[in-house]
Amino acid sequence: MGDSAYSFSLTTFSRTGKLLQIEYALNAVSNGRTSLGIAAKDGVVIATDKKVSSTLIDVDAVQKIQSISPSSGFVYSGLGPDYRVLTRSARKNASAYERTYGERQPISQTVKQTASLMQEYTQSGGVRPFGCSVLAAGFDEDLEPKLFQVDPSGAYFGWRATAIGKGFVNAKSFLEKRVTPDILLEDAIHTCLLTLREGFEGEINGKNIEVGILEKETGSFRILKEEEVNDYLNEAN
């Protein structure tokens, strides 16, 4: 009768203390295309495999990396429609913060609010957890560039470098070997692309991946243009 049989709507504890709906949601994340990020001294890079299922898809319009504010951005692995709910909420929060305090919301706060929303969906009646993990790039109170990962459970950590989605285990051990604490953004971008290329099916290029960078110097987050991505890839060869 299939594997969803008897799985009830609510996230309840199993005998071993596991919240199964959350574990299953993590599987939805691992089934998704790889995303990854590196926090450098002078900025953050986040990148994602945006390869699509058909050559007919208007790749230019596929935008998995989303600006949350002029100085922060999100990317995800897992269910895109769930991710949209999170970015919508994060943008609203970030801009409310700015209106109220006259300054940019520290990324750790943006992340905390997103994580709280995700936690709520693991404890409230009649709903399911979110089916995606999120990487967030932004500046903290001390204006240092930071990278966070938020999971369906609502757990989040700051990372020097991390990867989610398909092949995330290999990607992370790859990153562990190459990312040093004092890595600079330019180097980080190259490492990011290199890591993404590792597990990539087919040729990587500016059309099938997406790269967002947060620069400490300019204080702003932007998504690289196709040509810029290709330039980085060519430099690497």
Residue 236 beta carbon to its own copies: minimum distance, rounded to whole angstroms: 21
Residue 17 vs 102, nearer CB to its own copies? 17
Among 46, 48, 65, 82, which residue interacts with its own copies (rule: CB under 8 A)? Answer: 82
By CB under 8 A, tell whether 52 contacts its own copies.
yes
Q: Which of residues 25-44 bind its own copies (CB under 8 A)?
A: 25-31, 39
By CB under 8 A, tell whether 235 contacts its own copies.
no
Please answer whether residues 164 and 36 qualify as being in contact, where contact means their C-beta atoms are separated by less than 8 angstroms. yes
Element (DSSP H or E) covering residue 200 = none
By CB under 8 A, tell whether 12 contacts its own copies.
yes
Residue 163 vs 211, nearer CB to its own copies? 163
By CB under 8 A, tell whether 190 contacts its own copies.
no
Residue 205 vs 234, nearer CB to its own copies? 205
Neighbours of 155 (CB within 10 A): 13
Distance CA 215, CA 145 (A): 8
Residue 100 beta carbon to its own copies: minimum distance, rounded to whole angstroms: 18
- Torsion region of 172: left, alpha or beta (phi above 0 gives left; psi -120 to 50 gives alpha): alpha
Neighbours of 90 (CB within 10 A): 24
Residue 222 beta carbon to its own copies: minimum distance, rounded to whole angstroms: 18
Angle at 111 between CA 109 and CA 115, to 5 degrees: 115
Please answer whether residues 49 and 196 qualify as being in contact, where contact means their C-beta atoms are separated by less than 8 angstroms. yes
By CB under 8 A, tell whether 1 contacts its own copies.
yes
Among 96, 155, 184, 236, which residue interacts with its own copies (rule: CB under 8 A)? Answer: 155
Residue 190 vs 235, nearer CB to its own copies? 190
Residue 45: closest CA among 153, 159, 147: 147
Residue 237 beta carbon to its own copies: minimum distance, rounded to whole angstroms: 26
Among 106, 138, 154, 199, which residue interacts with its own copies (rule: CB under 8 A)? Answer: 154
Residue at token pair 């997103």: 114
Residue 87 beta carbon to its own copies: minimum distance, rounded to whole angstroms: 11
Distance CA 205, CA 131 (A): 27
Distance CA 213, CA 104 (A): 17
Residue 228 beta carbon to its own copies: minimum distance, rounded to whole angstroms: 21
User: 132-139 and 145-150 as β-strands: parallel, antiparallel, unpaired?
Assistant: antiparallel
Among 41, 70, 80, 226, which residue interacts with its own copies (rule: CB under 8 A)? Answer: 80
